[in-house]
Structures are given as structure tokens and as C-alpha cells.
Structure 1
């Protein structure tokens, strides 16, 4: 669906060349939600803006549905952009237009007849949950409602691709979750390819199928969200995963227990998908001579299934047989002491 090959973007500031994006290679599948995450200055905003050529790359190719956007004419690019909707961080609404008029704007520019515009806009207003707000102006809306207008406007021309540029970073946590749920609904209903950038790992684990992690203009790691969460390789990825796993605090507690109770073992258990729901701890207590102190545990749900992590402190005469049982059951074990 979307293929980036050796994509680069350089800027010159005070005779200094800055590589905002450095030889990025990505392949995004049709119908998936693909996340790009990085800290400020990583190059993610520049990268997503190159997907519709709001920023023109210095080098490389950008193929969408087999068409290289870097090689087409200005007229062809205008037509191609109608297939690519975009949602912005700060909404970018027209403040003198109502909700209905904001959503209708791109259809008016495209020369769509009034009856078709009314039908399409009414459909979208219902889809994004703004029925009854069609005659309101942006200054009469909450932040979440403004972003719903932005999403509806981006969908007006029935695009094949939806780009989300930090679409939830200006919203509170509850509204963020509501907007993310709406994006999942849209993805499933229209089989729409969604590419979003964010600096929040919560956004990635909640709705994305795959993710790429950026640092200093480079993709440092990419893969299925579940694989990235369960086994992050790069230090930047590990920091992002810790944002929602609270691993640092658990590790401190585990080390404290290991010092206070040297006769036992402190163990980190990791398990994926359906295994995250199985009663491993109950089975150990029932079948082995061990006592278990649960330090901290969490199950995170992604689009591809659950990922669980659990710190436990074991004492007793059958610690090793209990750990052997977990290994046979496919649980990943890391002995901390």
C-alpha cells in the first residue's frame, strides 16, 4: 500500500545541514494501523508530512498504491491528495464555518453537487458522534469534538489513507481514548489504512498493528506491536515501553526483596496472547511446594492480543520444578536473583 525507499529530508539552517529524515525504509500494509513513535526532534512529523508531499523529500521514493508521488505532476499530485486524508494536532478548523461547513469544505472544492455533499456530511457527522452539533462553530466545541470534526473532514473524499499528525496529544486521557476508539472503528468499517505519529506509547499499544520507532531521523526498530512490547531491542524502544509497563518501579521492588529474602528467587514472567489469561500462579501453588509473593503485574492489550508481565518472589523447596513447569508452558522467565 505505502512503500518508502531511502527517503531523506535535509534542511539548511545558518549554513548547517540538518538531516531531519535519514534513509528511511518502510512498508505499510493496506488496511492496517501503523504507528510512528519518537521523542521531539526525532523526525516523525517531517516523515508523515512527506507521505502527502506537504514536505517534499530531498531523496528517495514514496509509493502509494504503486504511484510514486515524487515523480508526478502538480495536477496528478492534487488528485492523489484527495485519496489521502490528514488529521492535525491542533485541529486546523475554519473558525468562521460551522461543523457542517467545515466537513463540506473539501467536497465543495472538488465540485461535488450540493445534494451529495449534504448526504456525505450528514453520514460523517453521525459516524463521528456529532449529531446535533452540525450548526455549531468551532469555538462552541470541546477539544475532542473539534478533533472529531477534523476526522470527519479528512474522511469526506473517501480517502484510501488517513494520516494522523499527533491527533491526540492536545487532548485529555479520557478524550484521547475516545478518539482512538473512533479511529479503530473507522479502520474496521472502511478498511482504511491509517498512519499515525505520536510520542505516547499508550496510543501505539491501544490501536496500532505495527510500529516504527524513530530517533535522530532514523528508524531504529520496527515490527508488530506485540513483538515490540514483549521484546524491545533498542534503548529508545525500551524507554517507551517502560512508559506504560512501570518496569523501573517493579525492578526496584524486586531487588529490594531479593536483598531482604536471599533464600528465595525473584523472577520476571512474560507471556503473550492467550497465555496472558491462563492461571499459571494458581497452578504453581496447587502443584508445587512454593510460596509466592506477587510484586507487580500487568496485562496490556494490543490489536493482536495481550501481553502480560509479572514480577514474583518465590520461596520453598520446589522453586526450580515450578519454574521448569512455566518454561514448558511457554512462559518466558528471567531470574532476577
Structure 2
């Protein structure tokens, strides 16, 4: 679909006022150690602040029916938080996908489209957690406008966004106003907001997608690097280590000629663990030593787990 570029006065962009509470939420949202539960809680709390700011600008937002359109998958926590605060709201789901390195966005409606509208649809409110380049939400607004025959008007609510991206959104035909939890400094050349959220927002909200037999990197790690390093150690790739059932740890059983050799090995590992400040889960029965490397906070495999496993290999 071609984006309508007809000019209009830009809609107002309203930022949630800076308060200690908001700054604490943004710190939590960007924290590399955030868990899926804590990230969802943060987005819920931030959404309430966004709605309060929107209501101060436009009291009708909670006085009339609304249709909430969360951009999946990141905006689902916003939907969960917004619906109780908007008692006359309904929802329509939209999934948007963009070809990496391009501005080409495809909008997929998971159910009915918003037009022709149902009798009680009311005001359209588009929800998006992170707006980096603005490509996705601009295309969605353009499609909403086209589906309505040029009559749709929309409110856009988002948690964290680049100023340039929101300027693009505010210039879209049919956008009444935009409310953002906090403005980033900018969007970098890779399409990430600065200050960084330290991880894909979808993964931070829901956790890494579990794939049987694949290592799971801890939040904040270079995922592709840690997974590659861990896979090189696995039995199926010529190594001696195996994954636990959830992919959160690597483990190996060592067998020695006798207890003395096993104890010497354990002393070397203990010295290395002290030096690197990272300790194993292990058991010893006479000449057998079982070692498991994982990280508990944040949960999953880190580069240090792989380094420690390699040191263990070098001691035998």
C-alpha cells in the first residue's frame, strides 16, 4: 500500500511529564537484567501514566467507546493495562512485519479489519511499545486511513520513541495526537533507540523463544555469539558437553583414574572460579565429577559460562 503523503499540520506530540516515578520506570524498561515479568509490569505502569496524560489532553478518551489496536507482539502488555482503564473499549489485533534493512511494512489483520466500523467501535487508539524508525506505525496509520476511505482519525500511544520517528507519525493524515511515555535521544543507524533497551523488546517482554536443543542466552548477552560458542562445545558438534532440558545450562561428566586426580581437577576449577567470580554447580563421587555451568541472574547462558567450560576441558 502506498503511504499518503498529502501535507497537514502535524498533530501534537505529548510526553508524559518527567517525574521520579517515570524515570524509574524508564530505567527498568532499559535495564539489561530485566525479566519478562518485570518488563511487563513496567509497561503496565507506564501505560497508566500515558493514559493519564492523554486524558488530561483529551477527556473524551475515557468518556466514549474506543477501539484499541495494539501492534503485535510488543504492544500486548499495553492492551492489558489499557482495557480496564477504558471500560467501553474493544480491540482489534494487527501484526506488522518489516523486511530487515528496508522500510517495507506488511500489515496483517488477525481477525476483522477495523473498517467498515462496528456501531460501537468509537475512537481508534493505536498502541505501540517502541517506535524507533516509525516505519511500522506510519504504514499502519496509512492503511487505517485508506481502509476508511480517508475518514479515520487516530490517537497513537507509545512507551518509548525516537523524536524523528514521532514527527513522522504526527504528520500522518488522520492522527489527532500522539502521547509517548518518554522520548529517546535518537535512533541509531541500526534502528535501535538510544539509550538502548538492551535487547529486543519482544524478547524482553516474553523471553527468548524456546527451541528444543538450542542454547538460551541470558538477557543482555550478544545472543548469536553466545549461542555459537555454546554450540561448539556440544557433543553433536564434536565437543563433550550437553545442554540441559531447557537450554539454560551446559553440563559434562568427567571421569578420572582415581579420586586424587579428580580432586586435583576440582582444585583447578575452584581456583579459576574464584578468579573469574563465577562458580559451577557440581557433584563429586570418588573419581567422577559432574559440572553444570549456567547463570542465574539474568537466567540463561553467558559468555563466561562458555569460557569456564573451555577451561574445564583444558584441565583434562
TM-score (norm 1): 0.30
Which protein has the bigger strand share? 1
TM-score (norm 2): 0.31
